[in-house]
């Protein structure tokens, strides 16, 4: 009886500890509301005899976002106008945090003839915003942890980081701050304080839940950007202290292959240190690596050494964090490793999909979701049409990589339904197929068919539910009948093997050459005229510096099959890759001006890696690819390795490196596959001993 009472007291203490943490996070996550709270808001309503005008917004931040929206809505109501508001973040003082501080509508008049579109900058103070982001991200993490743990208590012992672990963590955070900001004060104010606060909070949370639940929650969030404002740091950095402490306590050895990875990632930047220029971060629009745009956290300014260094540091830290937490889970010898991983991906998709539709309620909610999830761009609507199709991207900043993420979810759901006969996931599959039909990526459709075919053939010996297969085929037919199928059919019909340079390709290259002047790009230009080139073969011989027919024909065929003529020709023609660059690369994150502005991205991870990391980076990337192929066959065709292979295939015509959340997702899934392989090898050794 006494033991039962004692256990209940311990549970009560645990609950109180979590309640205290949640209360603190709720308060700090609502700093914007607390600063803007006003019992007597300024809600003056315009009258019909007034002149129609938008509220004047400036850095005096006279009214809150709520007051601004109220005034604009009343203006629309009184003067029969219609206004769409787009909110975005803008640097401000503490007093103006969360309040409108700039607007393009100050000198515009509301029109009754068209829908008025105005942009309003909402003040963001870096210190307060960092604390808010830590609190919001942590609350989301606790919620997902609670779902996986079913609100069960796993660990009651209070743990604190040891002095050495905390010192190492603080040193790394300070080094990051020193590389970025002109003074120690600015480093502490803008990022170090938020990192210390966040890591201590996550340390408490992590040690109050089971290791497996922590890992599952981390996997679920791996596709969501969760970026801090004005930095390339994301939520996952909040596990740095936990990871260092795990390393110190367990004294595990870092895998030798891990050091090889760190070497390949860092080598190009170290080799280019003397070629870089060094200027520190001065403001929100100063470093492209920190600016809100599609490639935030994934691309650096031309020859900016500090940006390349912090980009490399981010990759190394992310790899170390995922390796440490996966390793801790691996040591548990948990047999449900794969099952928990797949369930985590599915929950992540549900969060991802649900967040998107919540964001579509109105512009105010859209901005709140954007801020809450640390997104680098505004969220598109489903009707956001691209030149060649719908190309819907949900809440992630890349259409093609959203398609790749949806493919991974589709494959996991397919395996659960066809092989494991878990029909409860059919509803999630329907949502996934709806998302794929909006996204319309052609490579995804092809790989979907490949995967379903693989699952059927690979499980012929088992009893497969014919009804499930028929349902899958019916759903695939429906998708192929929509815009996605039309895009794929159009692409297949357009494939030809005429290797003469077309006028359309010449026109595209001419437009790209104009970008030197349009964007004032101080970059090396091509040393010959594109009009001298009459065929693909001539072009690739000149650019690759080889007469080898196998290499030349491979590039010819791949360029045509993947439909990347414009993108790949721009990459080879306009970038100044020298022999030294092939060996050393131009440095991690190099560069926005070359890869994003001038050539509008290479559209191949292999080219981007060669450009930035040189031959060492490409060898690392290809070694991972071949490793997955070998493990796929040796494991008896386990589908998880096929997922990894699909990622490498898709990256032939797209890229993960320039989009931060896809970089995180890639690191996470590769870490999972490496540890899954190690688990299987250990199991085989154990069986051989008996």
Whether residue 230 contacts residue 126, with contact meaning beta carbons closer than 8 Å, is answered with yes
Q: Report H helices in 495-548.
A: 503-518, 536-544
Locate tokens 């609190």: which residue? 135
Q: What is the mean pLDDT of the chain?
A: 86
* pLDDT over threshold 70, residue 381: yes
Question: Which string of DSSP letters, residue by residue, matches 38-104?
Answer: -SS---PPP-TTSPP-PPP--TT--S-HHHHHHHHHHHHHHHT--EEEEEEEEE--STTTTSEEEET
CA distances from 368 to 32, 92, 224 (A): 11, 18, 15
pLDDT category of residue 491 using cuts at 50, 70 and 90: low
Dist CA 100 CA 371 (whole Å): 15
Q: Which of residues 243 and 158 earns the better pLDDT score? A: 243
pLDDT in tens, 52-72: 888 888 888 888 888 888 888
pLDDT in tens, 347-377: 999 999 999 999 988 878 888 899 899 999 8
Query: Could you give the 3-state DSSP secondary structure of residue 123?
Result: strand
pLDDT category of residue 581 using cuts at 50, 70 and 90: confident
* pLDDT over threshold 60, residue 3: no
pLDDT given at position 19: 82
Sheet containing 83-91: give its strands across. Answer: 83-91, 116-124, 100-103
Interacting residues of 490 by C-beta distance below 8 A, sequence separation 6+:
none
Vertex 528 angle, CA 525 and 531, to 5° = 115
Query: Could you give the 3-state DSSP secondary structure of residue 541?
Result: helix
* pLDDT over threshold 80, residue 48: no
Q: Which of residues 462 and 328 earns the better pLDDT score? A: 328
Interacting residues of 258 by C-beta distance below 8 A, sequence separation 6+:
319, 323
pLDDT in tens, 427-482: 999 999 889 888 888 888 889 888 988 888 887 777 666 766 776 677 767 666 66
Q: Is the dihedral of CA 50, 103, 399, 409 positive or negative?
A: negative
Q: What is the mean pLDDT of residues 520-543?
A: 91
pLDDT given at position 8: 44
CA distances from 223 to 273, 375, 405, 444, 594 (A): 32, 11, 8, 17, 27
pLDDT given at position 605: 92
Q: What is the mean pLDDT of residues 316-325?
A: 94
pLDDT given at position 621: 92
pLDDT given at position 6: 43
* pLDDT over threshold 50, residue 7: no
Alpha-carbon dihedral 561, 564, 569, 572, rounded to 10 degrees: -90
pLDDT given at position 178: 94
Q: What is the mean pLDDT of residues 284-296?
A: 89
Locate the DSSP E strands across 98-195.
100-103, 116-124
pLDDT given at position 597: 93
Dist CA 292 CA 89 (whole Å): 9
CA distances from 210 to 8, 19, 216, 338, 650 (A): 19, 18, 10, 17, 35
* pLDDT over threshold 60, residue 2: no
The phi-psi region of residue 563 (left if phi > 0; otherwise alpha if psi is between -120 and 50; otherwise beta) is left
Dist CA 394 CA 405 (whole Å): 11
pLDDT in tens, 122-164: 999 999 999 999 999 999 999 999 999 887 766 556 678 889 9
* Range 521-526 contact pairs with CB under 8 angstroms and sequence separation of 24 or more: 521/593, 521/597, 521/598, 522/302, 523/302, 523/576, 523/593, 523/594, 523/598, 524/576, 525/574, 526/573, 526/574
pLDDT category of residue 18 using cuts at 50, 70 and 90: confident
- Measured in degrees and rounded to the nearest 5, phi and psi for residue 109 equal -110, 135
Vertex 350 angle, CA 122 and 215, to 5° = 95
Whether residue 377 contacts residue 293, with contact meaning beta carbons closer than 8 Å, is answered with yes
Interacting residues of 60 by C-beta distance below 8 A, sequence separation 6+:
none
pLDDT given at position 490: 67
pLDDT given at position 155: 54
Q: For residue 507, how far is the Cα from the chain centroid? A: 33
Query: Could you give the 3-state DSSP secondary structure of residue 408?
Result: helix
Name the residue ranges covered by the structural domains of the chain.
38-124, 127-338, 503-562+564-616
* pLDDT over threshold 80, residue 240: yes
Q: What is the mean pLDDT of residues 258-284?
A: 90
pLDDT given at position 226: 94
pLDDT category of residue 680 using cuts at 50, 70 and 90: confident
Question: Cis link prior to 591 (omega < 30° from 0)?
Answer: yes
pLDDT given at position 11: 46
């Amino acid at each position: 009886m006494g033991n039962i009472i004692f256990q209940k007291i311990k549970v009560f203490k645990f609950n109180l500890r979590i309640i205290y943490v949640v209360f603190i996070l709720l308060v700090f996550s609502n700093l914007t509301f607390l600063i803007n709270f006003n019992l007597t808001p300024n809600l003056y309503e315009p009258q019909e005899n007034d002149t129609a005008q938008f509220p004047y917004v400036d850095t005096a931040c006279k009214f809150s976002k709520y007051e601004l929206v109220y005034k604009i809505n009343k203006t629309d109501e009184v003067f029969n106008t219609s206004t769409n508001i787009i909110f975005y973040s803008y640097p401000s003082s503490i007093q103006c945090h969360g309040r409108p501080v700039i607007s393009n509508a100050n000198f515009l008049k509301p029109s009754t003839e068209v829908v008025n579109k105005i942009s309003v900058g909402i003040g963001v103070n870096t210190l307060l915003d960092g604390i808010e982001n830590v609190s919001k991200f942590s609350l989301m993490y606790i919620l997902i942890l609670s779902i996986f743990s079913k609100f069960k208590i796993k660990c009651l012992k209070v743990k604190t980081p040891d002095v050495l672990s905390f010192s190492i963590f603080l040193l790394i955070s300070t080094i990051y701050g020193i590389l970025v900001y002109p003074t120690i004060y600015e480093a502490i104010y803008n990022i170090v304080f938020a990192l210390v606060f966040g890591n201590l909070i996550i340390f408490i949370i992590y040690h109050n839940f089971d290791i497996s639940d922590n890992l599952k929650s981390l996997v679920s969030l791996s596709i969501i950007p969760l970026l801090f404002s004005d930095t390339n740091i994301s939520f996952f950095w909040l596990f740095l202290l936990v990871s260092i402490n795990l390393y110190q306590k367990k004294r595990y050895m870092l895998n030798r292959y891990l050091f090889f990875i760190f070497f390949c990632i860092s080598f190009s930047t170290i080799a280019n240190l003397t070629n870089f220029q060094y200027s520190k971060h001065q403001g929100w629009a100063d470093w492209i690596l920190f600016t809100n745009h599609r490639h935030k956290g994934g691309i650096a300014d031309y020859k900016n050494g500090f940006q390349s260094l912090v980009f490399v540091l981010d990759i190394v830290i992310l790899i170390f964090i995922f390796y440490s937490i996966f390793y801790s889970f691996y040591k548990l010898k948990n047999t449900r490793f794969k099952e928990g991983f797949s369930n985590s991906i599915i929950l992540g998709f549900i969060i991802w999909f649900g967040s998107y539709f919540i964001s579509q309620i109105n512009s105010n909610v859209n901005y709140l979701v954007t801020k809450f999830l640390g997104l680098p761009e505004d969220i598109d609507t489903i009707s956001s049409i691209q030149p060649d199709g719908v190309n819907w991207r949900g809440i992630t900043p890349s259409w093609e990589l959203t398609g790749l993420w949806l493919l991974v979810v589709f494959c996991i759901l397919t395996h659960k339904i066809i092989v494991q006969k878990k029909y409860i996931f059919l509803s999630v599959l329907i949502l996934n197929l709806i998302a794929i039909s909006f996204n319309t990526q052609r490579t995804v459709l092809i790989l979907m068919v490949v995967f379903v075919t693989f699952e059927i053939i690979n499980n012929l010996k088992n009893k497969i539910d014919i009804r499930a297969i028929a349902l899958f085929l019916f759903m695939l037919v429906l998708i192929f009948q929509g815009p996605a199928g039309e895009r794929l059919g159009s692409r297949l019909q357009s494939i030809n093997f005429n290797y003469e340079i077309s006028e359309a390709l010449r026109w595209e290259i001419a437009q790209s050459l104009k970008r030197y002047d349009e964007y004032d790009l101080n970059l090396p230009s091509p040393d010959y005229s594109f009009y001298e080139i009459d065929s693909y073969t001539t072009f690739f011989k000149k650019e690759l510096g080889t007469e080898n027919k196998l290499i030349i024909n491979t590039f010819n065929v791949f360029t045509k099959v993947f439909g990347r003529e414009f993108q790949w020709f721009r990459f080879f023609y306009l970038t100044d890759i020298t022999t030294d660059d092939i060996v050393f690369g131009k440095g991690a994150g190099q560069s926005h001006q070359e890869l994003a502005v001038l050539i509008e991205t290479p559209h191949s991870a292999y080219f981007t890696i060669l450009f930035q990391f040189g031959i060492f980076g490409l060898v690392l990337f290809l070694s991972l690819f071949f490793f997955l192929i070998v493990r796929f066959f040796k494991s008896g065709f386990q589908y998880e390795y096929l997922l990894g292979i699909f990622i490498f295939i898709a990256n032939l015509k797209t890229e993960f490196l320039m989009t931060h959340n896809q970089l995180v997702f890639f690191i996470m899934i590769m870490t999972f596959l490496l540890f899954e392989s190690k688990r299987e090898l250990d199991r085989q050794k154990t069986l051989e001993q008996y």
